[in-house]
Structure 1
Amino acid sequence: MVITIFYPFSSKLKFIYFEFKNIYSKDGKYLKHFSENGLWIKDEINNKIYIINGSEKKDDFLTNVFISEFDSDFNLTNNFSSKKVDISSNTWILEDPILFKDNKQVLLDENMTIRSHFDSNKINKSFRNLNSLNVIQLIKEKEENRMLGYSSEEIDLHILKIVSLPIYFSIMVVISSIIMLNIKKDKPYIFHILLGITLSVIIYYISNIFDIFGLTNKIPIYLSVFFPIIILSIISTLGLVRINEK
């Protein structure tokens, strides 16, 4: 039930996020992003739009891949998953694909292919997983970029996120406590699960939108990190005041 209700909402929210990111991207059709959730790609080809998530890239393969397919009017048409996808060329091969449609899972008998603007070489050139680097390595990477004349805004953003992480977690604990204290105990368990997932997804994408503003110089980098934290701090403060007044 959670998957049935939550996944269409999550997929649509992912699509809205990528469309918003397009506004500030040099190439609106093809976007690449690496996060703690793995590799993310938005690709538009043959009147179809794909949002692709893979947990890891190994040689010419992506592993644990989930693909959401949209039509040109941004309607979700299909979802596919595959444990292993060959991305050695622009024709991707999904091995033992599973189709998700009409709340059903269907294991397809044959491998499936999709066209993409990306292949293994292009992905290798496009991605750096900053999550695998510690602060010292990030500082060294920033210095190398400075000497080569490359931008270090993404590294600055990542360092600030690491520094602010304890503050962020503390605020989220406070907000979670406030929500639990304000929800009636007779609410069903599934309500708590759906509420927690929904709020987490919304906060995650709002934070990423501010990251876009920072990386595109719409706002300073430090503000793109701390502004969402300030908003969450205000919300948690108001919640604590309300509890204190009861």
Structure 2
Amino acid sequence: MSIVKRNQRKTHASIIGVDLASGPDQSVTSTVKNGKVVATEPSRAQGIMEEFDFFKVAMESDLTQLKKFSHMEDKLEYKAKAIENHLYLDYLRRYQAQGTDHQNMVLAWVVIWLVDLGHWKTAFDFVPLLVTQNQRLPGRFSTQDWPTFLIDQLYDEGAKHLSQGRDAVERSQVINLFTQFIHLLDTHQWRLSELIGGKLYAMAAKLEQSVFNLGNAYTYGTKATALNDKAGVKKMVREIANTIGKETDL
């Protein structure tokens, strides 16, 4: 049995053994099958809010277990299994659909884990909720808002594939991630600092240029420079403008 699986089993045992009835009247009944939580039903208290205590305990236990790993691969394996075994996504979708609004550390950590695991589309599904509810990032993060956090992570993802060349960019579909996130920004009109906005559009421009989507690269590069004159893509924009016959003041 791998160290990840051993720690998963310890986590299940600690969660199942918690007596929530000793605290506020927010207890839940959980059905466990083959080491997995397969059903969570409110017992004495009803509704999605009463589930929060259970999933908060589960997440706190998972965070404790993660501290025992020194290798990133083990941490990622544990996170993936925890999301599946504890039905975190099912809970968060109920939370989202019910319209409940409170500080939710389970929501915050699951989205962070989804990004770590490269499950960007699922993470993006929860970003509007995070922003609308002013959900706080965990204290260990210096970033104070979710759009900035996502842009920092996207930038690193883009830079990783860009450094590996055109084929890597195309295989990774990383450009689609930037397109989806920029669409979210435009739809919800989230405010960004000029520095962070320039960072996002500059990387989008570089990625588009790497696969010869020069029109998109020009558009993103122009926007990056408009937001932050030092975004680092002026020369690229001038060269693209000359190639595609666009006029530019850069």
State the TM-score bracket (shorter-chain normalisation): under 0.3
Q: Name whichever structure is richer in strand by fraction.
A: 1
Q: What TM-score do you get using the length of structure 2 for normalisation? A: 0.23
Q: Which structure's relative contact order is higher, taking Cα pairs within 8 Å and 6+ residues apart?
A: 1
Q: Name whichever structure is richer in helix by fraction.
A: 2
